[in-house]
């Protein structure tokens, strides 16, 4: 079996903003964009847990394929453990999905504000940013669907393994379909990550064009590290 690995690319978080009373359209957009990032915290938190559960299931499957039919009771026990792991992943995936949906709802609040931007360059950059992020949310929906379908097929596999009369041909056919499902997950995940990276760059460009003074989390950490070394 080919097991997939969850890959996620963190959205860049802007830390500082030169704020003033009576926020402009660009500053309001900034606020919505950064709130959308925060709302994806749960999504990011679930990723490490999902990877752990994937590895756990892979270990269980490795144990199963090393067993002969004379160890059928052990195969059933391990298969049930795998199903429990899959159900836990389903729960994590649902939390992940809710996080992305909340982020999308917040992000969509920027749409009406874009028309209020005065500079054409800033407006065009904001429109491009909105388009890419919308595509990213659509890509996540595809990824979530593909991943959920693969989980259903995994669960079916472990149910099949508890049938002592299971035919090898039927098992082989199901594993082939499952590997095809994994390929869909990997392709959907790649598309999602590519759009995330593109969005991150466009967001930086939009902030620069709009004259919004921000620092990014990774820049802040690099600065702190540099200051620490200079004080040694």
State the CATH number of the domain containing residue 124: 1.20.120.570
**Euclidean distance between CA atoms 6 and 146, whole angstroms:** 12
Residues in the chain: 232
- 199 found inside a domain: yes
- 94 found inside a domain: yes
CA-to-CA dists, residue 112 to 28, 108, 109, 117, 212, angstroms: 11, 8, 7, 10, 19
pLDDT tens for the 232 residues of the chain, in order: 333 333 344 455 554 444 433 468 999 999 999 999 999 988 888 888 899 999 999 999 999 988 877 889 999 999 999 999 999 999 999 999 999 999 999 999 999 999 999 999 999 999 999 999 999 999 999 999 999 999 999 999 999 999 988 898 999 999 999 999 999 999 999 999 999 999 999 999 999 999 988 776 655 454 444 444 445 5
Whether the CB-CB separation of 188 and 143 falls below 8 Å is answered with yes
pLDDT of residue 21: 36
pLDDT of residue 45: 83
- 221 found inside a domain: no
pLDDT of residue 70: 80
Two structure tokens written together for 18 = 């030169």
* CB atoms near residue 72 (< 10 Å): 14
- φ, ψ of residue 6 to 5 degrees: the values are -70, 130
- 98 found inside a domain: yes
Number of structural domains, the chain? Answer: 1
- 2 found inside a domain: no
pLDDT of residue 48: 85
- 16 found inside a domain: no
* CB atoms near residue 151 (< 10 Å): 18
Whether the CB-CB separation of 46 and 93 falls below 8 Å is answered with yes
- 10 found inside a domain: no
pTM of the full predicted structure? 0.82
pLDDT of residue 69: 75
List the domain range (segments joined by +) for residue 61: 25-213
- 3 found inside a domain: no
């Amino acid at each position: 079996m080919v097991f997939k690995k969850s890959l996620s690319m963190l959205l860049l978080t802007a830390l500082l903003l030169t704020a003033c009373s009576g926020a402009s359209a660009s500053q309001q957009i900034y606020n919505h964009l950064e709130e959308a990032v925060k709302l994806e915290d749960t999504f990011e938190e679930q990723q490490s847990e999902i990877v752990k559960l994937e590895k756990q299931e892979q270990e269980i499957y490795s144990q199963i394929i090393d067993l002969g039919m004379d160890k059928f009771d052990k195969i059933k026990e391990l298969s049930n453990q795998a199903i429990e792991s899959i159900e836990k992943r389903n729960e994590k995936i649902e939390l992940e999905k809710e996080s992305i949906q909340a982020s999308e709802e917040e992000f969509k609040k920027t749409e009406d504000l874009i028309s209020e931007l005065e500079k054409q360059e800033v407006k065009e950059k904001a429109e491009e940013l909105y388009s890419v992020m919308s595509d990213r949310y659509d890509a996540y929906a595809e990824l979530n669907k593909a991943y959920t379908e693969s989980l259903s097929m995994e669960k079916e596999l472990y149910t099949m393994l508890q049938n002592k009369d299971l035919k090898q041909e039927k098992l082989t056919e199901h594993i082939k379909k499952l590997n095809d499902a994994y390929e869909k997950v990997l392709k959907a995940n790649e598309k999602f990550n590519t759009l995330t990276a593109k969005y991150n760059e466009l967001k930086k460009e939009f902030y620069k064009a709009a004259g919004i003074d921000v620092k990014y989390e990774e820049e802040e950490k690099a600065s702190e590290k540099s200051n620490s070394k200079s004080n040694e």
